[in-house]
Structure 1
Amino acid sequence: MKKKVLVVDDERTICVLLENFLSPEHIVVTKNSGLEALNWLNTNIPDLIISDIQMSNMDGFEFLKEVRLKGFTKHTPVIMLSGRTESKERVKCYQIGAQDYLAKPFNPDELKEVVKKNLFPIHYASAW
């Protein structure tokens, strides 16, 4: 059964790109804002969330905090995307509860491996 991945990014091109990369193996749902994604999360539970940090209205940090406060998504793995590569921003993501952080532009192969690692952590480790 395909896993459900929620992609949150206000750049439509990134949403389409991620959908194209991930849809052969996963069900991909895209939302263009943190608020839109939070509303969707009221009635849906994804297996993984991929969120941009720099978004208007609600940035990725605030979105991640809200995801962690919701009972149903408290333990859902989250991968944060950002155009910034500073260590300070990555550390902040980890402190708030992100499992991984990828800098844009990201390598599609790395994205697929990070997604696989977060969706299937035991199987991923056993492949070593």
Structure 2
Amino acid sequence: MRKKVLYVDDEKSNLRIFKDSFRRDFDVYLAESGYDALKLLESTMVDLVITDQRMPEMTGVELLKEITEKYDSIPPNRLILSGYADDGEIEKAFKNFHLSKFISKPWNYNKLKETMIQALS
């Protein structure tokens, strides 16, 4: 059975590139904001959450906090994929919100796919 991956990013071009890159490997779900991601999670169980950090209204770390509090059934497979890192916030996500890896943008397809597979195993 194919794994379900949720990718959250406020930039539509990043969402399109991600889906085009990984749709053959995973069932890819997209959300343009943390709020959209939380709405999707009300009805869809996913195996892996990947989020950008720097987004308007809700950061990636804030999203992971909400997921940890509201959707305990989601496996603790969480990645932040971002060109921006606040070390304190990222550290908090590792300690408290099941962040398994921080990946810097721009990402490499093979390395990111390998990281995703590791997070899912």
Contact 1:93 1:101 in 2 (8 A): no
2:118 is matched with 117
1:77 aligns with 2:47: no
User: How many Å apart are 1:61 and its aligned residue?
Assistant: 1.2
Match of 1:93 in 2: 93
Contact 1:50/1:78 (<8 A) preserved: yes
**Structure 2 residue matching 1:110: 3-state secondary structure:** helix
Identity across matched positions, percent: 33
Unpaired runs of 5+ residues, structure 2, are: none
Residue number in structure 2 paired with 1:104: 105
1:59-112 per-position Cα deviation (integer Å, ceiling 9, x unaligned): 111101001112222x33011011135654542331232011101111111100
Match of 1:65 in 2: 65
SS at match of 1:29: strand
Superposed CA RMSD in Å reads 1.5
- Partners of 1:22 and 1:112 lie apart in 2 by 8
So what's the TM-score if we normalise by structure 1? 0.85
Q: Give the distance between the partners of 2:115 and 2:29, measured in 1 at CA.
A: 18
2:29 corresponds to which residue? 29
Structure 1 residue aligned with 2:16: 16
Q: Which amino acid aligns with 1:107?
A: N
Which residue in the other structure is 1:3 paired with? 3
Contact 1:46 1:76 in 2 (8 A): no
Contact kept in structure 1, 2:61 and 2:89, CA below 8 Å: no
Residue aligned with 1:99, SS: strand
Provide, for residues 12-65 of structure 1, a one-character-per-residue CA deviation record: whole Å limited to 9, x for no partner.
111111111211111001010000110111111101011001011111111010
Conserved? CA contact 1:79–1:100, under 8 Å: yes
Aligned residues: 119
